[in-house]
Structure formats: C-alpha cells, structure tokens
Amino acid sequence: MPGTGSVMNPIRILVVDDSVVIRKLLSETLTGDAAVEVVGVAGDGRIALAKIPLLKPDLITLDIEMPVMNGLETLAAVRKLYPRLPVIMFSTLTERGAAATLDALALGASDYVTKPSNTGSAAVAIERIRVELLPKIKALCGAAPLKLQPLPGARPGLPPRPPSNPRIEIVAIGTSTGGPNALAEVLPRIPRDFPVPIVVVQHMPPIFTRLLADRLANHSAISVEEGSAGAALTSGHAWIAPGNFHMTVIRTATGGRLNLNQGVPENSCRPAVDVLFRSAAEAYGSHVLGVVMTGMGSDGVLGARDLRNAGGDVIIQDEATSVVWGMPGLVHASGLANAAYPLPQLATEITRRVLQSRSPQALSKPKNDSILEPRLL
C-alpha cells in the first residue's frame, strides 16, 4: 500500500471525481476530521494514476462516471499496480449506479458509498458523508480498533452450551463490508439439493439488493432472490433482505415465511442482521445455524447471542479473509462463535453442518467441535 496511515498520522486520502462540487464537498468534509487528511484530488482516472506514486495515499475515493478514464477502468489499473490500496467507490443511487458499483466490487473495490443527492441542503450532504464515509475510511485503514461492546443481559466470554446437536432447519447469514464478494464465494458453492432455506442480510440500499440477488442467482445452483413479504421458505432457496426493509422469519402451520417491515433501524442499519437473527431464534429455536461474515460495525452480535441462547450454533468468517473483521470479530470477542473459517471453507462447512445435523446418526451422536473444527475460538 502506498501510504501508511495510522492513529498517529492522519489517513491520507486521494479524492477522484470529475465534479468540482463533489471534490470540494468531500475534501472540506473529510479534512474536518483530525484522523483524515485529503492529500490530493483528481478529475479523472488518468490523473489519479499519475498522482498515486507521488502522494502515496492510504485510501482513494473513486467516482464511477468520469471522462478520459472512468472509475471501473481506473479501479482495474489500481488493483494491478496497488492490490492492497483500499478504494471506496462513490456512486449514485440509481439502477445504473448500483450495477456499476457491483461491477466495481467484483473488480476489487473495498466498499462503496452512495452520493448524497436531492438533499436540498449542503449541511445534510456533509452530515451523510460524515456518517457513512468516514467510518468506512477508518475501518479500512485500521484506525477503528475492535472494541468489545458489553451485551445487555450477558457477559463477555459466554461459555458454549453443551452440545445438543439440533437438526438444522434454516441458515441465517449476516454480512456488510466485503459481503457481496463473500456471498459470491459462498452461495454458488451451496449444492442444488441443499435441504434447508437460507436467509441473508447484506447491508445495502434499495436497488442494490435486487441486483445483487440477480447476480448471485446467475452463478448459483440454488435459487437466489430478493426477499418479499409472505414468501414461503423452501429448501434449496436463498433470500436477500431488500434495502430499507428489515427481514424476519416466522413459522406457521404451513411452514416458514418471510416478513418485511420498516421498523426503526438497528445499529444504524435497515435491514439489520440482529433483527433477522432474533426472529430466527424465536421461530426456529435451536434449529438455526447463524453465519456472520465480513463487515464493519457491531450488527449481528446481539442476534448471535439470541441464537446461542436458543441453543443454535454461530460460525464466523476468520480475520485473515475478512475485508473488515468488525462484525465477526465482535461475535468472537463476545464469546459467541462456535468456530471461525476462512472464506473459501465457509460453504463446505455450512453444508457439512446442515447435512450432518439431519443424518440419522446425528440424533444419537453428540457433536464434538474440538474434533470437527479446524479453528476453535
């Protein structure tokens, strides 16, 4: 990585955008934080590539639609020359912008932020940048150390429950920063005859979640779609929570179903992993496998506690393969994870656990994680 931002030295940012207004807005807003320094701006990708070796930024914010050399072309060149340099895409909240952002994530962008549009107020736009962009910059540059948050009604280091080996009836996955690529690694590796439904929260706005579901469906043996109210939960099928809606699961006399609501955001998120996990614990009890993957923040920790208290298991993505080890790291730090796995092993482990729990031997054979797990926490 060209730069070496740290807690002592401000994180060095290169702002790349063809709009003079956006460059000025980003520069002034980011520079207002003592942990960040905007060391340069560029109006197109060609200029940005020339400035990187001179300015040695720790992170780049990159517009997608630019003249001369657009964001995707610039990102591909950056990844070739500086494979570890964090890049945050700055995209529009439109169908075209969402599709281009997903393309950018597939090319190796670290994360994205949607541009504040139609706010009618510079103050609102500035506040959105502070709330949405600054925390991502700090997390990706290691300036936001992992801190264990006290869990209401629980204590850190919760001891594992005795193995009950419940039959898994549903898999619930939560992820955020780095999640689209992580899901693209996991869901396509789930076999077509997978015997239970999968429900997923990926922190993303509207439009983005639908396009993500469509892309995952094109590369997966199982069916993948955006969640819809009242959808029946069927085996071999995955649902992605729609942007701006919490997704929950319920059980009825005819089986499991999805519900959607626009309740208060939790952990500043809607959809929130905690909401999904909590509903799964209430509906399915010990028969849930929770999976927490790469992501910034603490969403999923309280939900993981609910799953463990109900008798279910929670596994996490390991630190080495996570873009940001915030969400899974806090589940680990809270003593709520049964085990951690590198991203390439997660699909195999999810499948193994589900199939093993549903085999005839599972009812009489207690599970021993110390034998089965490559990495116990």
How many CB atoms lie under 10 A from the CB of residue 81? 12
The whole-number average pLDDT for the span 211-218 is 97
pLDDT given at position 326:
93
What percent of the chain has pLDDT above 70?
86
Domains of the chain (ranges, CATH numbers): 11-140 (3.40.50.2300), 170-372 (3.40.50.180)
Q: What are phi and psi of 122, to 5 degrees?
A: -65, -35
pTM: 0.88
pLDDT given at position 154:
41
pLDDT given at position 254:
87
pLDDT given at position 143:
65
pLDDT given at position 148:
52
Quick one: pLDDT band at residue 48, thresholds 50, 70, 90?
very high
Residue 67 has pLDDT above 50, yes or no: yes
Task: Tell me the average pLDDT of the chain.
Answer: 88
Catalytic residue ranges? 176, 203, 299
Ranges 207-211, 284-288, 349-353, 357-361: which has the least confidence: 357-361
The whole-number average pLDDT for the span 112-138 is 81
338 vs 370: CA distance, rounded Å: 10
pLDDT tens per residue, range 306-317: 999 999 999 999
Dihedral through CA 201, CA 202, CA 206, CA 211, nearest 10? -110
pLDDT tens per residue, range 135-167: 999 999 986 555 555 554 444 444 445 445 789
Q: What are phi and psi of 111, to 5 degrees?
A: -170, -175
Quick one: pLDDT band at residue 7, thresholds 50, 70, 90?
very low
Handedness of CA 34, 40, 41, 47 (dihedral sign): negative
Q: What are phi and psi of 313, to 5 degrees?
A: -110, 155
Quick one: pLDDT band at residue 3, thresholds 50, 70, 90?
low
pLDDT given at position 285:
96
pLDDT given at position 117:
65
Residue 362 has pLDDT above 60, yes or no: no
Handedness of CA 336, 340, 343, 344 (dihedral sign): negative
What percent of the chain has pLDDT above 90?
75
Nearest Cα neighbor of 367 from 375, 357, 358, 359 is: 357
The whole-number average pLDDT for the span 233-252 is 97
Residue 4 has pLDDT above 60, yes or no: no
Quick one: pLDDT band at residue 322, thresholds 50, 70, 90?
very high
Q: Which two tokens stand for residue 265?
A: 């955001």
pLDDT tens per residue, range 216-225: 999 999 999 9
Residue 373 has pLDDT above 70, yes or no: no
pLDDT given at position 274:
98
153 vs 343: CA distance, rounded Å: 31
Q: Which two tokens stand for residue 223?
A: 């069916």
